[in-house]
Chain A
Amino acid sequence: MNNGIPKWVDVVLIPLLSLILAFMVSGLVVLSIGKDPIQAIKLMVYGAFRLNDGIGPTLYYTTSFIFTGLAVAVAFHAKLFNIGGEGQAAIAGVGVTLIMLAFDWPHWTIALFVGVIAAAAFGAAWAAIPAYLQVKRGSHIVITTIMFNLIAGSVIAYLLVGPLQASGSLPESSRFPSAASLPTLHDILAVVGINFDRFSDANITFFIALLAAFFVWLLIWKSRLGYEIRVFGNSDKAAVYAGISPVKITMIVMLISGALAGLMAVNTVQGQAERLVLGAVEGAGFIGIAVALMGRNHPVGIVLAAFLFGALTQGGVELQFEMQIPSQMVIVIQALIIMFTGSLENLVRMPVERLFSRFKKGAV
């Protein structure tokens, strides 16, 4: 729908203004605890994009957020709210761990391939249960996916102090075989002669995330399945009239959504920790909701929004280190950005639309 504003205003200007507004309010928050907001913003930007040790972690977080953002977006095109990315990614981590510990891997390419399949399958399976409950029993998917996040957390806690615990007292699994370890962006870029941050966790999964975004674009806007998903998302009555089965679409969409969320485990569990640890997902599942919201459920928007949230996460770490701003405060700043870009979007949108309609009338 075009409300009389050009597309670039809708896609670029409004999110940008929201962002600026969010930063201004965040500045007040920083000021209120007696710190310098200008310095804080400088530090955040510098911390997130600094070439030798900023952009690497940013891209690592970005990778996770792309996956969880895409997961939310795909479900949303069928008007399903998959709040369960957190749990799906966590269980996918279990899948990756089980398969990685099961074999001696001859080469990382095979380990990556199998890891991707395992993560997607476990994530999808964890999403399949709420989906099935929705189509067969009418249990609302928002409620069930939230509950499944909690169940996933408990399952992992049990596994890490029980069957999967490595010898020792820490709640974590054994380390994966070293042949299974994935090349980092440093390794990859070294091939073309670029000296990228040696210590960052950003790894080859970043490219898989970009591939996933392209796949989602193909799926939603170019494939027949995507067409059916969008029909169902707009009107379930129309879907039934066209011979599109709501049961089938709900199941398939949730499987795809769960698989996308699950892929995040390739980045974190296989790519970074190389073992299963507690809290590997660290809220990325929830941030995916904000990413999808800000990215307007479009893959390009999601990649950009994921990058922004990746930068915020890394910049926030920097704030804690350098300015002793407590981590809770960093979360407040992130929340403000989610609030301004997501739920308070109309705050910016309406004046901008009014301005443009006035401008247009003046031109006539």
Chain B
Amino acid sequence: MTLTENPGQPNAAAPTPPAIELMGISKAFGPVQANKDITMTVAKGAIHGIVGENGAGKSTLMSILYGFYKADSGHVKINGIDTEITDSHAAIAAGIGMVHQHFMLVDTFTVLENVILGAEDGPMLKPSLAKARQELKRLAEEYELDVDPDAIVGEISVGFQQRVEILKALYRQAEILILDEPTGVLTPAEADHLFRILKNLKEQGKTIVLITHKLREIMDVTDTVSVMRRGEMTATIETATTSPSKLAEAMVGRSVIMEVEKSPATVGETVMEIKNLVVKDGQGVERLKNISFSLKRGEVLGIAGVAGNGQTELLEVLGGIRPATSGEVIMKGESIDLTTKADAQERRHRGIGHVPEDRHARGLVMPFQTWENTAFGYHNEPEFSKKFGMANQKAMFEDAQGKMERFDIRPPLPKLVASSFSGGNQQKIVLAREIERNPDVLLIGQPTRGVDIGAIEFIHQQIVKLRDAGKAILLISVELDEIQALSDRILVMFDGIIQGERLPENTDKNELGLLMAGVDPETDT
């Protein structure tokens, strides 16, 4: 196909040609049009952000640029030269480096070995290693990219692993660096460091493309930003001339209410009581140290905390996935079996629904079709059962159709496998399954992790709706905004204990942050 100059784009006749020009890129996966006639220009030496909801087509576009996918139509110019990127080798040769969302590192190799992997100069490793060591030292000084070259990759933190990925790209002489959701796995401090690195790289004339759905990052570091929505590029703007709410609007195509609308809670009687709960892991380390609290009808009890302070274990014990070492859980006056004999189906019978933290590994079976996933965990219930141990697949299918309609799961095809849906729609499948069972207690872990803004709003509304129906909700999230917006009461967990309890109206981010760090704000210890 031919394409004339797009009037909305900066003219390519400028003195230095743009680092990247994408022209009329289209890509379809079966019936899904992931990229629709996309044209984008990134100036040399700029940090360019690409924002969009999950499933908007950002990653697909970058995968085309990096040679993982072949575009159905359109072409690519790098530094003004027509370039056909057939695979990642061609991308590297064109000076493009990519830092993937999930790192491509060999855990048992050292940093140095990972850096030269695939870029060795000859059959013997020694000269390459020596050269790489020199180069790494130089890069570390130049860009604040310090990593111990002899550390084993599996033993260093995620933030450092990401630096190794960046180093890999720079070692291969990358002039254009693509980062796909780089801060998803980082702590705030690590993220800040990453942005400093990116700014250093920019000063040295490197071009950076940052894919994210966090608007704050876009505002902080980028020069220009492109917004994608449903496979189309809806806008390319200079960052200085826009605002987070404008970007959010462009992403979802309408104004987004960032806060959750909810009426005051009408709290009823206690439905679940947790007493002196202790959980030890396989190594005998106490992950929950004597935890007690109660959960009442009609409230959202939020549990804040940095990931890894016992929230996961709490959720798994209550959901029947993991046995408790000692302690008691009383549900509607009856004690719950916390031994290894307990199972999650028995919990569901007692009225405990569970939206797990990890929907990919636990909440869904990725190669299963939606109608199989919406019955998951409830597959032995009478309405899904037939005689002689057979499944009532017709009932399962019809149930899935209803759920997809009521929860606006797109595309509404019960025969589509779970992995074909975007993160937000996958989460809606899990939520539809758990909420429509009308549980007395709903356990929710990270309800909006990796979920786009439009779906976040919907998911929050569903949670509030369930609360208003007099159900108890235990919400675990590492997103403090989410905890504050949704909770009627907040518990902060730190190192396996409850560090404090606050009411959202009487506290702020600072105080919660201190509690999450294990500090008691009153005594300051």
Interface residues of A (CB under 8 A from B): 1-2, 4, 218, 222-228, 230-231, 234-235, 237-238, 240-245, 361
Interchain CA distance A343-B364 in the complex, whole Å: 30
Does residue B377 face the partner (Cβ distance < 8 Å to A)? yes
CB-contact partner of A240 in B321, B367, B376, B384, under 8 A: B321
Interchain CA distance A346-B110 in the complex, whole Å: 33
Separation in Å of the A9 CB from the closest CB of chain B?
15
* Cβ contacts A to B, 23 pairs, < 8 Å: A1-B417, A2-B30, A4-B30, A218-B390, A222-B390, A222-B393, A223-B390, A224-B384, A224-B385, A225-B389, A234-B365, A238-B363, A238-B364, A240-B321, A241-B319, A241-B321, A241-B356, A241-B363, A242-B344, A242-B376, A243-B343, A243-B347, A244-B343
Q: With contacts A241-B321, A242-B379 known, is A224 near B391, CB below 8 A?
A: yes
User: Would you list the 5 A-B pairs with minimal beta carbon distance, nearest first?
Assistant: A243-B345, A243-B344, A242-B377, A243-B343, A241-B362
Contact with A along B343-385 (1 / 0, CB 8 A): 1111110000010101001111111100010001101100011
Q: A243 touching B348 by the CB < 8 A rule? A: yes
Residue among A224, A225, A243 with the highest chain B CB neighbour number at 10 A: A243
Q: A243 touching B377 by the CB < 8 A rule? A: yes
Secondary structure at the A interface, as helix, strand, loop or mixed, is: helix
In the assembled complex, which residues on chain B have CB atoms less than 8 Å from the CB atom of A231? Answer: 365, 368, 376
Interchain CA distance A2-B31 in the complex, whole Å: 12
Q: Which residue of B lies closest to A219 (CB)?
A: B389
Separation in Å of the A298 CB from the closest CB of chain B?
15
Q: Which residue of B lies closest to A4 (CB)?
A: B30
In the assembled complex, which residues on chain B have CB atoms less than 8 Å from the CB atom of A226? Answer: 391
In the assembled complex, which residues on chain A have CB atoms less than 8 Å from the CB atom of B414? Answer: none
Separation in Å of the B170 CB from the closest CB of chain A?
33
Q: B343 touching A238 by the CB < 8 A rule? A: no
Separation in Å of the A26 CB from the closest CB of chain B?
35
Q: A223 touching B389 by the CB < 8 A rule? A: yes
In the assembled complex, which residues on chain B have CB atoms less than 8 Å from the CB atom of A241? Answer: 319, 321, 344, 354, 356, 362-363, 377
In the assembled complex, which residues on chain B have CB atoms less than 8 Å from the CB atom of A227? Answer: 372, 379, 391
Contact with A along B8-31 (1 / 0, CB 8 A): 000000000000000000000010
Does residue B72 face the partner (Cβ distance < 8 Å to A)? yes
In the assembled complex, which residues on chain B have CB atoms less than 8 Å from the CB atom of A225? Answer: 389
Q: A235 touching B366 by the CB < 8 A rule? A: yes
Q: Which residue of A lies closest to B420 (CB)?
A: A1
Separation in Å of the A358 CB from the closest CB of chain B?
11
Separation in Å of the A20 CB from the closest CB of chain B?
29
CB-contact partner of B379 in A224, A237, A245, A361, under 8 A: A224
Interchain CA distance A261-B356 in the complex, whole Å: 39
Q: Which residue of A lies closest to B377 (CB)?
A: A242
In the assembled complex, which residues on chain A have CB atoms less than 8 Å from the CB atom of B384? Answer: 224
Interchain CA distance A226-B379 in the complex, whole Å: 11
Residue among B366, B368, B372, B384 with the highest chain A CB neighbour number at 10 A: B368
Does residue B182 face the partner (Cβ distance < 8 Å to A)? no
Interchain CA distance A289-B385 in the complex, whole Å: 33
Interchain CA distance A237-B368 in the complex, whole Å: 15
Does residue B320 face the partner (Cβ distance < 8 Å to A)? yes
CB-contact partner of A224 in B354, B356, B362, B389, under 8 A: B389
Given A227-B372, A240-B344, A242-B379, 8 new contacts (CB under 8 A): A222-B393, A227-B391, A228-B379, A238-B363, A241-B362, A243-B344, A244-B343, A244-B345
In the assembled complex, which residues on chain A have CB atoms less than 8 Å from the CB atom of B361? Answer: 235, 237-238
Separation in Å of the A351 CB from the closest CB of chain B?
16
**Number of chain B residues whose Cβ lies closer than 8 Å to a Cβ of chain A:** 35
In the assembled complex, which residues on chain A have CB atoms less than 8 Å from the CB atom of B356? Answer: 241
Interchain CA distance A224-B376 in the complex, whole Å: 11
Interface residues of B (CB under 8 A from A): 30, 72, 319-321, 343-348, 354, 356, 358, 361-368, 372, 376-377, 379-380, 384-385, 388-391, 393, 417
Interchain CA distance A243-B350 in the complex, whole Å: 13
Separation in Å of the A191 CB from the closest CB of chain B?
31
In the assembled complex, which residues on chain B have CB atoms less than 8 Å from the CB atom of A245? Answer: 343
Interchain CA distance A240-B482 in the complex, whole Å: 28
Interchain CA distance A325-B363 in the complex, whole Å: 57
In the assembled complex, which residues on chain A have CB atoms less than 8 Å from the CB atom of B30? Answer: 2, 4
In the assembled complex, which residues on chain B have CB atoms less than 8 Å from the CB atom of A237? Answer: 358, 361-362
Q: B320 touching A243 by the CB < 8 A rule? A: yes
Q: Which residue of A lies closest to B364 (CB)?
A: A238
Interchain CA distance A225-B358 in the complex, whole Å: 24
Separation in Å of the B375 CB from the closest CB of chain A?
8
Separation in Å of the B329 CB from the closest CB of chain A?
17
Q: With contacts A241-B354, A242-B379 known, is A234 near B366, CB below 8 A?
A: yes
Separation in Å of the B437 CB from the closest CB of chain A?
13
Interchain CA distance A255-B384 in the complex, whole Å: 26
Separation in Å of the B389 CB from the closest CB of chain A?
5
Interchain CA distance A244-B30 in the complex, whole Å: 34
Q: Which residue of A lies closest to B347 (CB)?
A: A243
Interchain CA distance A218-B387 in the complex, whole Å: 13
Separation in Å of the A235 CB from the closest CB of chain B?
6
In the assembled complex, which residues on chain A have CB atoms less than 8 Å from the CB atom of B388? Answer: 223
In the assembled complex, which residues on chain A have CB atoms less than 8 Å from the CB atom of B362? Answer: 235, 237-238, 240-241
Separation in Å of the B297 CB from the closest CB of chain A?
25
Q: With contacts A222-B390, A224-B391, A234-B367 known, is A361 near B72, CB below 8 A?
A: yes
Separation in Å of the A4 CB from the closest CB of chain B?
7
In the assembled complex, which residues on chain B have CB atoms less than 8 Å from the CB atom of A2? Answer: 30
Q: Which residue of A lies closest to B346 (CB)?
A: A243
In the assembled complex, which residues on chain A have CB atoms less than 8 Å from the CB atom of B377? Answer: 241-243
Interchain CA distance A222-B372 in the complex, whole Å: 12
Residue among A223, A226, A228, A241 with the highest chain B CB neighbour number at 10 A: A241
Interchain CA distance A361-B356 in the complex, whole Å: 41
Q: Which residue of A lies closest to B322 (CB)?
A: A240
Q: Which residue of A lies closest to B343 (CB)?
A: A243
In the assembled complex, which residues on chain B have CB atoms less than 8 Å from the CB atom of A240? Answer: 321, 344, 362
Separation in Å of the B386 CB from the closest CB of chain A?
9
In the assembled complex, which residues on chain A have CB atoms less than 8 Å from the CB atom of B319? Answer: 241
Separation in Å of the B293 CB from the closest CB of chain A?
23
Interchain CA distance A245-B343 in the complex, whole Å: 8
In the assembled complex, which residues on chain B have CB atoms less than 8 Å from the CB atom of A230? Answer: 365, 368
Interchain CA distance A243-B372 in the complex, whole Å: 15
Q: B320 touching A222 by the CB < 8 A rule? A: no
Separation in Å of the B338 CB from the closest CB of chain A?
15
In the assembled complex, which residues on chain A have CB atoms less than 8 Å from the CB atom of B346? Answer: 243
Q: Which residue of A lies closest to B375 (CB)?
A: A227
Residue among B344, B362, B365, B368 with the highest chain A CB neighbour number at 10 A: B365
In the assembled complex, which residues on chain A have CB atoms less than 8 Å from the CB atom of B379? Answer: 224, 227-228, 242
Interchain CA distance A222-B343 in the complex, whole Å: 24
Interchain CA distance A235-B388 in the complex, whole Å: 26
Interchain CA distance A121-B272 in the complex, whole Å: 47
In the assembled complex, which residues on chain A have CB atoms less than 8 Å from the CB atom of B72? Answer: 361
Separation in Å of the B391 CB from the closest CB of chain A?
5
In the assembled complex, which residues on chain B have CB atoms less than 8 Å from the CB atom of A4? Answer: 30
In the assembled complex, which residues on chain A have CB atoms less than 8 Å from the CB atom of B390? Answer: 218, 222-224
In the assembled complex, which residues on chain A have CB atoms less than 8 Å from the CB atom of B358? Answer: 237
Q: A235 touching B365 by the CB < 8 A rule? A: yes
Separation in Å of the A317 CB from the closest CB of chain B?
41
Q: Which residue of B lies closest to A361 (CB)?
A: B72
Separation in Å of the B145 CB from the closest CB of chain A?
35
In the assembled complex, which residues on chain B have CB atoms less than 8 Å from the CB atom of A228? Answer: 379
Separation in Å of the B353 CB from the closest CB of chain A?
12
Q: B344 touching A1 by the CB < 8 A rule? A: no
In the assembled complex, which residues on chain A have CB atoms less than 8 Å from the CB atom of B343? Answer: 243-245
Separation in Å of the B417 CB from the closest CB of chain A?
7
Q: Which residue of A lies closest to B341 (CB)?
A: A245
Interchain CA distance A234-B366 in the complex, whole Å: 8
Interchain CA distance A238-B319 in the complex, whole Å: 12
Residue among A225, A226, A244 with the highest chain B CB neighbour number at 10 A: A244
In the assembled complex, which residues on chain A have CB atoms less than 8 Å from the CB atom of B365? Answer: 230-231, 234-235, 238
